[in-house]
Amino acid sequence: MISTVNRVLFIGAGRMAQAIIKGLVQQSDFHIAVTNNGDEQRLNYVKEKFGVEIVESWREEIETTDVIVLALPPEAHGSLLNELANFIDKHLIVTVAAGIDPAYLEKSLPEGTPVAWMMPNTAAELGKSMTLYTCGTHTNSSHEELLQQMLSGIGSYEKVTEQQIHELTPITGSAPAFVYAMADTLINCAMESGVTEQQARKLVAEMIGGAASMLKTGESPKQLADNVATPGGVTAAGLDVLDRNNFDGLISGAIDACHKRAKI
């Protein structure tokens, strides 16, 4: 089924599909087709923006595609997989959906179907996603190489277990939203000083980028925070407020809430 120019069909054309497609179109060796559940306007937008093929139904592409990426809501997987099952012929089926693991895909598809689960984040559109992936029991090394080729087009990737993707979805998939929420608050605070919104965004984005680079040095987050907090100084006063308001508990609570919601 795997040809020289790999053909990838996206089912679902929403935010995550678009972020992955934007990363992928920068690689020449994929032919990308996209479909959804009838939102023509969205499909035309995707066609215009990324120069990909759009199709009214996945049935039009199923004969020729190598990889099917399921980029639709977790809840929509059940009925789609039931329909797809009648047409699958050793295609590699990859889902990006929270909570939809390879065991679930394998249960719904014909015996022997190669499947995989990837958990990207929206930074895929800049080639900066931290993507987790895991493979099903019938995925061979060429399937995995093909998947890795796709993943390298959207950033960094790490192979982990199925259970670990369940555990880590809130960390790499959802937590960017927590960082953006914090950024929003910091930008609003910054604007109180009289800088423009544009300036405030730059200050905060560069600060977060710098902090992310510091984390990559291997120094522990605690040590890095300690290096910022001059004893008895201004940062220590701020960290004290975070501690007294159970910042740890707040973040862990958010992660727990993601876990609860991800259960299908």
Ligand X SMILES: NC(=O)C1=CN([C@@H]2O[C@H](COP(=O)(O)OP(=O)(O)OC[C@H]3O[C@@H](n4cnc5c(N)ncnc54)[C@H](O)[C@@H]3O)[C@@H](O)[C@H]2O)C=CC1
Ligand Y SMILES: O=C(O)[C@@H]1CCC=N1
| Residue 98 binds to ligand Y (criterion: CB under 6 A) | yes
Interface with ligand X (CB under 6 A), residue total 25
Contacts of 72 (CB under 8 A, 6+ apart): 11, 12, 14, 36, 37, 80, 97
Counting Cα atoms < 13 Å in the Cβ hemisphere of 127 gives 7
Q: Which of 174, 187, 190, 200 binds ligand Y (CB under 6 A)?
A: 174
User: By C-beta, is 165 or 204 nearer to ligand Y?
Assistant: 165
Contacting residues for 61 by C-beta, under 8 A, at least 6 apart: 7, 9, 33, 35, 55
Q: How far is the CB of 176 from ligand X (least distance, A)?
A: 7
Q: Which is nearer to ligand X, 17 or 93 (CB)?
A: 17
Question: Contact with ligand Y (CB under 6 A): which of 8, 124, 169, 190?
Answer: 169
Q: Which of 24, 32, 92, 97 binds ligand X (CB under 6 A)?
A: 97
Query: Do residues 178 and 130 touch, judged by C-beta distance below 8 A?
Result: no
The minimum distance between CB 195 and ligand Y, in angstroms, equals 31
In this chain, which residue has its C-beta nearest to ligand Y?
173
Residues making up the chain, counted from first to last: 264
Q: How far is the CB of 51 from ligand X (least distance, A)?
A: 18
Cβ-based neighbours of 191, under 8 Å, separated by 6 or more: 197, 200
Separation of alpha carbons 200 and 232, rounded Å: 27
Of the pair 179, 189, the CB lying nearest ligand X is at 179
**Nearest approach, Cβ of residue 59 and ligand X (Å):** 12
Distance CA 194, CA 191 (A): 5
Describe the crossing of helices 15-24 and 40-50 by its angle, rounded to 10 degrees.
Answer: 20
Positions touching ligand Y (CB under 6 A) are 98, 169, 173-174
Residues that bind ligand X (CB under 6 A): 11-17, 36-37, 39, 42, 71-74, 76, 80, 96-98, 119-122, 173
